[in-house]
Amino acid sequence: MGFSVNLEGGAWWYAHVVELPGCFSRGVSRAEALGALPGAVDARLSWLGKRGLTCPGGGGFTVIEEQVGVAELGESGGAVALFLSDLEPVDALFIAEAKRLMTLSRGELLGLVSGLDEDALDAEPILGKRSLRRDLNHVVNAEEWYVSRLGHRYQEVYERGLRAAVGRGRLFPVARLEATRPHMVAALEAALADGKQGPFTRGRYTRHPKERWTLRKVLRRFLEHEREHIGTMERTLKAIK
């Protein structure tokens, strides 16, 4: 059997592989996003295999859903589509697998940036791209926002846990990456325990108050967003060196 693909289009195009959470390709056109998909899948399968994770078989791609006109897609603060596959409820096993993938991605990101000096963190060698410091803070800011989509109760689970662990002092980017993730996971697990599956909306902290979310979509964005920025930061590090 082949892979199922969700497509969304707006300012950019994204192709998402349903059977490989965290695997996607991006392009300025539909054709470019789909053309980049085989390479993205090969890279994802290799990444999983190197970490001893089971990889599903290939056999081509089938677009199962396509949404166009997604407002500000690909831009910071932009909307993202809710696909039919995002409506499927998640269970404890799915959360555990997502948590494992999130832990591996976070470990990879920390391996890239731990030990860098201040000059490296603040360098902007690629025109129009964030420094590593800004990108790292952006990753955590986005994840805090994903948690907030679940609602005030789960945002409080996260914020209360973080305050208890580190207080109210300012965390520098690398320490922030390490400190925040456990409390985000606690919020996700609390939502699962409460049956917070969705769809739901939340009008705070967004330019798109009618954007619909589910617990599965929140988890998908956790996985995809970090992977996207790991790629961006790898290019920044290469340019610095």
C-alpha atoms less than 13 angstroms from C-alpha of 190 in its C-beta half-sphere: 18
What is the mean predicted confidence (pLDDT) over 108-136? 96
What 3-state class would DSSP assign to 24?
Answer: strand
Write out pLDDT tens, residues 167-188.
988 899 999 999 999 999 999 9
Q: Report pLDDT for 54.
A: 80
Under 8 Å between Cβ of 112 and 234? yes
The residue assigned the tokens 């082949």 is 2
Quick one: which of 5, 7, 25 has its CA closest to 68?
7
CATH number of 3-79: 3.30.160
Write out pLDDT tens, residues 44-54.
999 999 999 98
User: How far is it, in rounded angstroms, from Cα 145 to Cα 155?
Assistant: 9
Q: What percent of the chain clears pLDDT 90, i.e. is strictly above it? A: 94
Quick one: which of 21, 22, 2, 15 has its CA closest to 65?
15
Instruction: Give the pLDDT band of residue 55 (cuts 50, 70, 90).
Output: confident
User: How far is it, in rounded angstroms, from Cα 26 to Cα 12?
Assistant: 7
Asked if pLDDT for residue 58 goes beyond 90, the answer is: no
Asked if pLDDT for residue 68 goes beyond 90, the answer is: yes
Q: Report pLDDT for 168.
A: 86
Instruction: Give the pLDDT band of residue 34 (cuts 50, 70, 90).
Output: very high
Q: Which long-range contacts (CB under 8 A, 24 or more apart) does 40-43 make?
A: 40/15, 41/3, 41/17
Write out pLDDT tens, residues 92-108.
999 999 999 999 999 99
Q: In what order do the strands lie in the sheet with 3-9?
A: 24-27, 13-17, 3-9, 61-68
The residue assigned the tokens 């089971």 is 54
Asked if pLDDT for residue 226 goes beyond 90, the answer is: yes
Helices marked H in the chain — which ranges? 30-35, 37-50, 92-113, 118-122, 132-149, 152-166, 173-193, 215-240
Under 8 Å between Cβ of 32 and 7? no
What does the domain layout of the chain look like in residue ranges?
A: 3-79, 85-240
Instruction: Give the pLDDT band of residue 131 (cuts 50, 70, 90).
Output: very high
The residue assigned the tokens 């470990």 is 107
Q: Which comes out higher in pLDDT, residue 55 or 45?
A: 45
C-alpha distances (whole Å) from 13 to each of 16, 33, 148 are 10, 6, 25
Q: Report pLDDT for 56.
A: 73
Q: Report pLDDT for 59.
A: 78
CATH 1.10.10.1100 applies to domain 85-240 = no
Instruction: Give the pLDDT band of residue 1 (cuts 50, 70, 90).
Output: low
Write the CB contacts of 84 (distance below 8 Å, at least 6 apart in sequence).
64, 65
